[in-house]
Amino acid sequence: MSVSTHDTWLDGRVALVTGAASGLGRATARAIGACGGHVVAADIDDPGAVRTTEEIRAEGGSAEAAHCDVTDDASRRAVMEQAFADHGDAFDILVNVAGIDLPGYANDIGLSDYERVMAVNCTGPTFMMSEFIKRVSRRPPVADGGRTAEIVNVISLSAITVGSGAAAYNGSKAALAKVTECFQREILEFGWPCRIQGLMPAAMDTPMMERWGIPKDRMMPASDIAAEILHCLRRPVTCYGQNLVVVPRMEPDFPR
Residues with a known catalytic role: 169
Task: Give exposure, 49-71, as e/b (b: 16+ Cβ within 10 Å).
Answer: bbbbbebbeeeebebbbbebbbb
Q: How many other β-carbons are positioned within 10 Å of the β-carbon of residue 122? A: 21
Q: How many other β-carbons are positioned within 10 Å of the β-carbon of residue 222? A: 23
Q: DSSP label at 71?
A: T
Contact indicator for 219, 174 with CB cutoff of 8 Å: no
Distance CA 167, CA 107 (A): 12
Q: Enumerate residues 6+ apart whose C-beta is below 8 A from 17.
A: 25, 28, 29, 32, 39, 40, 41, 42, 95, 97
Q: What is the DSSP string of 24-54?
A: HHHHHHHHHHHTT-EEEEEES-HHHHHHHHH
Supply φ then ψ for residue 182, to 5 degrees. Answer: -65, -45
Distance CA 38, CA 93 (A): 10
